[in-house]
Amino acid sequence: MLLDLELDLSEDLMAARDQGCRPTCLAFAASDAHAHARGYPKVALSPEYAFFHAAQRMGVLSSGQGVTMTAMLGTLEMEGQPEEQHFPYASHPPAPSLPLPPSPFPHPIYKRVADPQSPKVDQVIDSLRASQTVIVILDITQQFDRATGNPALVDVVPGDRIRGRHAVVAVGLACNRQGVAYIKIRNSWGLGWGHEGYAWLSLSYLKQQIVTTARFQ
């Protein structure tokens, strides 16, 4: 199925990454959106540093528990994050603890304020048209897991089951020849998911599964 592309901010970003088996999707999504908002989208920021401080804000320092949007946005506003090269991601941290960043941190830290938004697809579209990527938390389904092809499309399918909550980054907008609109999202499951780490979610799917969103100022 061909798509008529309106915009695609993914061209500004580095290759999609892989969070592995850790619950760090929001740290990756926020780091990518932060890097794009800074104007240095191909300079990776450290999801490890952001995840550690967000978990600390929640009083949880276990490698097996995810963090909330509130904790992550508060972290990037107050603690910030360094470049990835200065505090690399640990695909397999020593359970149950998290890698501990040195304090004080000896490298530059970048901070940014974000705007939490209501779960409205129209706001996601408006942000994209303003050249702003959007952090999106959604309840993903089995169809999301199965995204394949080029383009990789995810649509509403009867009987599709929710299998968990997940964070991605909205980066593009297009429609098919029948006028059905799609939002391009960047995932953190490596290049083997979707098409090179990206997929297109139909607006119907997104409206049905969206939980909350945020964008950086």
pLDDT digits (tens, 9 = 90+) for 141-169: 999 999 999 999 999 999 999 999 999 99
CB atoms within 10 A of CB 184: 27
Q: What is the count of structural domains for the chain?
A: 1
CB hemisphere CA count around 68 (13 angstroms): 9
Alpha carbon of 155 to those of 8, 13, 140: distances in Å? 19, 25, 11
196 vs 148: CA distance, rounded Å: 10
Give residues with Cβ within 8 angstroms of 111, minimum separation 6.
Answer: 76, 77, 78, 79, 80
Range of the domain at 70: 3-216
Looking at residue 211, what is its pLDDT?
97
Whether this model's pTM surpasses 0.75 = yes
- Determine contact, residues 51/60, Cβ cutoff 8 Å: no
Tell me which residue has tokens 């798509």: 3
Question: Which CATH number do you get for residue 116?
Answer: 3.90.70.10
The predicted-structure confidence for 160-201, as pLDDT tens digits, reads as follows 999 999 999 999 999 988 888 999 999 999 999 999 999 999
Torsion angles phi and psi, residue 174, rounded to 5: -155, 175
Tell me the CA end-to-end span of the chain in Å, nearest whole number: 35
The pLDDT confidence band at residue 63, using thresholds 50, 70 and 90, is: low
Tell me the two tokens of residue 120.
């409205």
As a whole number, the mean pLDDT across the chain is 94
